[in-house]
Chains A and B, each alone.
Chain A
Amino acid sequence: MIRYVIGRLLMLIPVLIAVSLVVYFIVDLAPGDVVDVIAPDDASPEDKELLREMMGLNDPFIVRYFRYMQGLLRGDLGKSYVNNRDVFEVYFSRLPNTLILAMAGIFVAVVIAVPLGVIGAIHRASWKDAISMIFGLLGLSMPNFWLGLLLIIVFSLKLGLFPSYGSEGWSSIVLPAITIGTGQAALIMRTTRSSMLEVIRQDYLRTARAKGVPERTVIYKHALRNALIPIVTVMGTQLGVSLGGAVFTETVFAWPGVGRLVVDAINSRDIPMVTGCLILTTMLASFLILLVDIAYAFIDPRIKARYTK
């Protein structure tokens, strides 16, 4: 088991290097550079050239990338081109917000999705199934930013129930979490439904029913518990996805998360910031998936057996 974990961690290293190369390359490919963003209106072309020279932007791509990698190997993610702040520090000042939002989103998603999935599975191919499916898919089928704006208008402007922006206090998280959670509900609902469908026809449930256990208990206590493993797995991967992918929600609600940070950095060609943030995000997401896998291995003896031999 330990060997498996170490193996997975070692495998992460080439992936991270490749991620840095790909990201650095794509951002570098974009026309314009950071000087086009930060140079004042009245700077002369010579001034801009000088600035590029000072920042080392005139060196060929390979030279710049290797210089960046040298820093990276020492654990230095570099400093932002735009404001000279430490990338690592900025990233970790934003990360808690992202984590909180991601977890709140998953919570909302589970609350919506699991009951819908169970209903769908019990009443497979009936109208109840179709309706629960439609509800579950609605969030996924709706552009996130639009839902966010509608929620703000109804719940914070018209009803005055929740703040429209910001990351302070429990109430400010409600609307963003609903926005993200409804989008993620679909996948969890699907998994719950198919996982339940498999479990529901197992013999031990038939036995339980035969013994006169009430249907509710059969479903929620016996069936759902056994259908849980794939659901938890999906939750884990979803959490990983929302580490960087909540850009639209973050913009609408002025939620100071990582996604928005990266988008701003892409727009200002702040290559160290973009690359650094994506390396860290990749690392975290991979750890998360690793954790899920380990948990999975502990729960499922078949997988455990494969890695302990």
Chain B
Amino acid sequence: MNKTKKNIALLLLVCLVMTVLSGCGQSTSKQSEAGPSEGPEETAYQKTITIAPALDFVSMETQVTTSGTSKTVFLLVFNTLIEQDTERGGLVPSLAESWAAISDTIWELKLRRGVKFHDGADFTAEDVKFTIERGKEQGASKAKLESIERVEIVDDYTVHLIMSKPDADILYKLTDPNCVILSKNAFETLSEEEAYKIGTGPFTYNVWEQGDYLSLLRFDDYWEGPPKTEEIVIRNIPEAASRLIALQTGEIDICISPPQVDLHYIAEDPNLKLLQIPGANNRYIGINSAKAPFNDIRVRQAIAYGMNRKAFIEAVYEGNAAEHNNVMHPGNLFYKEIEGYQYDKEKALELLAEAGYPNGFSATIYSSSGTIQKTVATVMQAQMAEIGIKLDVQSLETATFNATVAPGSDYDMCVNGWGGYVVGPDNALRNMFYTGGNNNNFGFSDEYVDRILDEAVTTSDIETRKKLYGDVQEYITMQAVFLPIAIEMIDVGIKAKLEGFVPPQGSIHKFKNVCIPIN
């Protein structure tokens, strides 16, 4: 366990050092203020950077889509009010220069002056009000903006967010790409499709050939100064092996999620660099505790004791992931180191016998059709066979999978992942474990958990909160409805000369400063 934690810390350190060394991140604005035509000393940069993510860019509708690649692009074309500093941690200003809580339910935001939209219009308080109030009604942004009742314009560059209830996580929620600031003017004068293309970010939409590529061009009037890279191309290469080959042959500059087993090719290649960042995703086996025999905690404990995480790490991740024993993500401020369940076959068999299943039983485990999910299910199947539980694996595509394991449905077990810690501790636990929570597909309902979560979110003293969240995460872990396996790595292969890569925010990459100096 300790070792796990150390591994994560070490990796974090490694990627921190790498990004500091590459050093393009912070200095961008200063350098570019000097202007590109300063003199002959100025470094030249590769004109186009091509990025191949694992999944395709699917939609320009910032407030509607949940696709990770689309959200990555939104951070290039738009700005949020507040940004997460993924290198040093904490929040940094973006379109909002400063923020302060006037009361429990009122936040005052001072907005940045001199920011231009891609159509040349000025950014003002009107746009903030428009974006937030529109976003409250849209599919993806709703969950983030819900707690804001309305936006009051104090003057052109000051707004008040009037909250319907205290929300300790609101600032984090505003950093989500679904909450990027749209242009009120554009939505009033253009069609919706066109209006969604107008942002304040460092790049503008150029060409989108759906399923093929998306090209973004540098925005010269960007408020932080124009980026060094003229064009960013997001390439759709669905097959992981092909994606890595494209990086090796030099056809692309950034390859996200190359095949786990082939990572050594990047490490061995002097022209390439492998970045491994502990991701937001906590991979777990979910159990439907509302259903027999899983309503018996001994059965769930038996399953938890029957899981050998080492085997998962080997077979699923080729060693590229850290074992994990807690429902909470180690990146969360309120994470507590706990023992959890450790592999113990004898104990598992004992518990099963006690629960009245000395010969085991049969059940179905669902997974999505992704390679990782399917492999996890296959390993789980073999491990459960060892303790007499015969699992049937059903790999479904996303739509069917989500519908099959939705809260309240009648499944047995599933392979799932959860990365919700990024938007605060309450979000991380409440969605999953509060009675009737939005993601509580475990049929889990525990009076103690509900009480502590309610208490913790209204407590302002950080030490008390730490204690409460610490207790409750240990308690939930031991309930064995969410059987954590590993914190997954985000693997990224880049050209060795590439600068300006910063760690992603959850699974959303921040590419606005990437550049490759030539000569």
Contact (Cβ within 8 A) B211 A256: yes
Contact (Cβ within 8 A) A45 B143: no
Q: For window 200-234 of chain B, which residues contact chain A by CB distance below 8 Å?
A: 209-212
Q: Which residues of chain A are near B342, meaning CB under 8 Å? A: none
Q: For window 428-453 of chain B, which residues contact chain A by CB distance below 8 Å?
A: 431, 438-439
Q: Mark B409-444, 1 if CB is under 8 A from A, else 0.
A: 000000000101001000100010000001100000
Determine how close the nearest CB of chain B comes to the CB of A290; give it in whole angstroms.
29
Determine how close the nearest CB of chain B comes to the CB of A75; give it in whole angstroms.
19
Determine how close the nearest CB of chain A comes to the CB of B200; give it in whole angstroms.
22
Contact (Cβ within 8 A) A164 B251: yes
Contact of A152 among B58, B245, B404 (CB under 8 A): B245
Determine how close the nearest CB of chain A comes to the CB of B168; give it in whole angstroms.
16
CA distance A85 to B139 in the complex (A): 17
Does B235 interact with chain A (Cβ within 8 Å)? yes
Q: Mark A139-170, 1 if CB is under 8 A from B, else 0.
A: 00000000001001100110010011111000
Determine how close the nearest CB of chain B comes to the CB of A157; give it in whole angstroms.
5
Does A82 interact with chain B (Cβ within 8 Å)? yes
CA distance A31 to B404 in the complex (A): 8
CA distance A33 to B397 in the complex (A): 11
Contact (Cβ within 8 A) A42 B143: yes
Q: Which residues of chain B are near A203, meaning CB under 8 Å? A: none
Q: For window 223-280 of chain A, which residues contact chain B by CB distance below 8 Å?
A: 251-254, 256, 260-261, 264, 267-269
Contact (Cβ within 8 A) A47 B143: yes
Determine how close the nearest CB of chain A comes to the CB of B455; give it in whole angstroms.
21
Q: Which residues of chain A are near B235, meaning CB under 8 Å? A: 165-166, 254
Determine how close the nearest CB of chain A comes to the CB of B290; give it in whole angstroms.
15
CA distance A267 to B400 in the complex (A): 9
Contact (Cβ within 8 A) A41 B420: yes
Does B248 interact with chain A (Cβ within 8 Å)? yes
Does B193 interact with chain A (Cβ within 8 Å)? yes
Contact (Cβ within 8 A) B431 A41: yes
Contact of B212 among A37, A39, A152, A256 (CB under 8 A): A256
Does B190 interact with chain A (Cβ within 8 Å)? no
Contact of B139 among A33, A43, A251 (CB under 8 A): A43
Contact of A34 among B210, B399, B404, B438 (CB under 8 A): B399
CA distance A290 to B322 in the complex (A): 60
Contact (Cβ within 8 A) B211 A36: no
Contact (Cβ within 8 A) A36 B427: no
Determine how close the nearest CB of chain A comes to the CB of B291; give it in whole angstroms.
18
Contact (Cβ within 8 A) A42 B399: no
Interface pick from B93-101, B236-244, B350-358: B236-244
Contact of B193 among A38, A84, A267 (CB under 8 A): A84
Contact (Cβ within 8 A) B242 A268: no
Contact of A167 among B212, B241, B396 (CB under 8 A): B212
Contact (Cβ within 8 A) A51 B139: yes
Determine how close the nearest CB of chain A comes to the CB of B159; give it in whole angstroms.
24
Q: Which residue of B lies closest to A153 (CB)?
A: B245
Does A207 interact with chain B (Cβ within 8 Å)? no
Contact (Cβ within 8 A) B398 A163: no
Contact of A90 among B210, B241, B242 (CB under 8 A): B210
Q: Which residues of chain A are near B399, meaning CB under 8 Å? A: 30-34, 36-37, 267-269
Does A214 interact with chain B (Cβ within 8 Å)? no
Interface pick from B60-68, B74-82, B149-157, B300-308: B60-68
Q: Which residues of chain B are near A304, meaning CB under 8 Å? A: none
Contact (Cβ within 8 A) A42 B439: yes
Query: A41-B431, A51-B139, A156-B245 known; A83 and B439 CB under 8 Å?
Result: no
CA distance A252 to B246 in the complex (A): 12
Contact (Cβ within 8 A) B249 A157: yes
Contact (Cβ within 8 A) A32 B242: no
CA distance A32 to B400 in the complex (A): 5
Q: Which residue of A lies closest to B70 (CB)?
A: A83
CA distance A40 to B143 in the complex (A): 8
Q: For window 172-199 of chain B, which residues contact chain A by CB distance below 8 Å?
A: 178, 192-193
Interface centre among A42, A44, A84, by most chain B C-beta atoms within 10 angstroms, is A42
Does B140 interact with chain A (Cβ within 8 Å)? yes
Determine how close the nearest CB of chain A comes to the CB of B368; give it in whole angstroms.
10
Contact of A42 among B209, B210, B427 (CB under 8 A): B427
Contact of B404 among A32, A44, A84, A268 (CB under 8 A): A32
Q: Which residue of A lies closest to B247 (CB)?
A: A164
Q: Which residues of chain A are near B403, meaning CB under 8 Å? A: 31-33, 36
Q: Which residues of chain B are near A264, meaning CB under 8 Å? A: 56, 211
Determine how close the nearest CB of chain B comes to the CB of A154; give it in whole angstroms.
11
Does B402 interact with chain A (Cβ within 8 Å)? yes
Contact (Cβ within 8 A) B66 A31: no
Contact (Cβ within 8 A) A85 B400: no
Query: A32-B404, A40-B140, A47-B142 known; A254 and B398 CB under 8 Å?
Result: no
CA distance A157 to B238 in the complex (A): 17
Does B468 interact with chain A (Cβ within 8 Å)? no
Does A222 interact with chain B (Cβ within 8 Å)? no
Q: For window 117-153 of chain A, which residues contact chain B by CB distance below 8 Å?
A: 149, 152-153
Q: Which residues of chain B are near A44, meaning CB under 8 Å? A: 143, 438
Contact of A83 among B65, B418, B431 (CB under 8 A): B65
CA distance A97 to B210 in the complex (A): 12
Q: Mark A20-54, 1 if CB is under 8 A from B, else 0.
A: 00000000001111101111111111010001000
CA distance A81 to B190 in the complex (A): 21
Q: Which residues of chain A are near B423, meaning CB under 8 Å? A: 42
CA distance A261 to B209 in the complex (A): 12
Q: Which residues of chain A are near B64, meaning CB under 8 Å? A: 38, 84
Q: Which residues of chain A are near B60, meaning CB under 8 Å? A: 83
Q: For the complex of A and B, list the 4 residue pairs with the smallest distance between their C-beta atoms, beginning with the closest.
A: A32-B403, A256-B212, A83-B59, A32-B399
Known: A37-B402, A43-B142, A83-B65. 7 other contacts (CB 8 A): A32-B400, A32-B403, A32-B404, A38-B65, A42-B420, A251-B238, A254-B239
| 19 residue pairs from A and B, CB less than 8 Å apart | A30-B399, A31-B399, A32-B396, A32-B402, A36-B398, A36-B403, A40-B139, A42-B143, A43-B142, A43-B438, A47-B139, A51-B139, A156-B249, A163-B251, A165-B235, A166-B251, A167-B212, A256-B210, A261-B210
